[in-house]
Copies of this chain bind each other. A is one copy, B any other.
Amino acid sequence: MRFSLPIRVYWEDTDAGGVVYHAQYVAFLERARTEWLRAQGFDQGALKETEHLIFVVHSMSLDFKAPAKLDDLLEATAKLVSCKKVSFEFEQTVERDGQTLVNARVKAAVLDSRTMKPRGMPAGIYEQLHGAMS
């Protein structure tokens, strides 16, 4: 149940150290979560429109193990490891040829898009998301 998104490293992702800029891995991880949600059938735009439901990053921890370079073909992975009505957590990696470059744990919170306050997911959405864990 681990999801993996191929990501090519372009000039825009790198910095003058010759490697991928560290904050850009955070964006790579977000792309993987977005595609994971899409693969599970969630359309974040529609959730916001029809349910006033948005998912935001609540907290994250990152370990940078090895650098990625220009032109590298990476894999950003996402695995849902916890799911409550008001928040859910992913274990994620960025890898290259099976080598882990970044380890991350990301907690997302569920907010009402009108108030930006925490709220619980409707039961149907919760069950769909919770089911994606196993």
Q: Is the pair A31, B16 in contact by a Cβ cutoff of 8 Å?
A: no
Partner of A116 from the list B15, B34, B45, B67 (CB cut-off 8 Å) is B67
- A23 close to B (CB within 8 Å): yes
Q: Is the pair B11, A16 in contact by a Cβ cutoff of 8 Å?
A: yes
Residues A1-42 near B (CB distance < 8 A): 8, 10-12, 14-19, 21-24, 26-27, 30-31, 34
User: Do A17 and B56 contact each other (CB < 8 Å), given the known contacts A10-B34, A30-B10, A45-B71?
Assistant: yes
Across the interface, name the chain B residue whose C-beta is closest to A11. B15
Partner of A12 from the list B27, B43, B70 (CB cut-off 8 Å) is B27
CA distance in complex: A60, B103 (Å): 11
Binding site for B on A (CB under 8 A): 8, 10-12, 14-19, 21-24, 26-27, 30-31, 34, 43-45, 54, 56-64, 67, 69-71, 116
23 example contacts (A-B, Cβ-Cβ < 8 A) are as follows: A10-B30, A10-B31, A10-B34, A11-B17, A11-B21, A11-B34, A12-B15, A16-B16, A16-B17, A16-B69, A16-B70, A22-B26, A23-B30, A45-B71, A56-B64, A57-B64, A58-B63, A59-B61, A59-B62, A59-B64, A60-B61, A61-B61, A61-B62
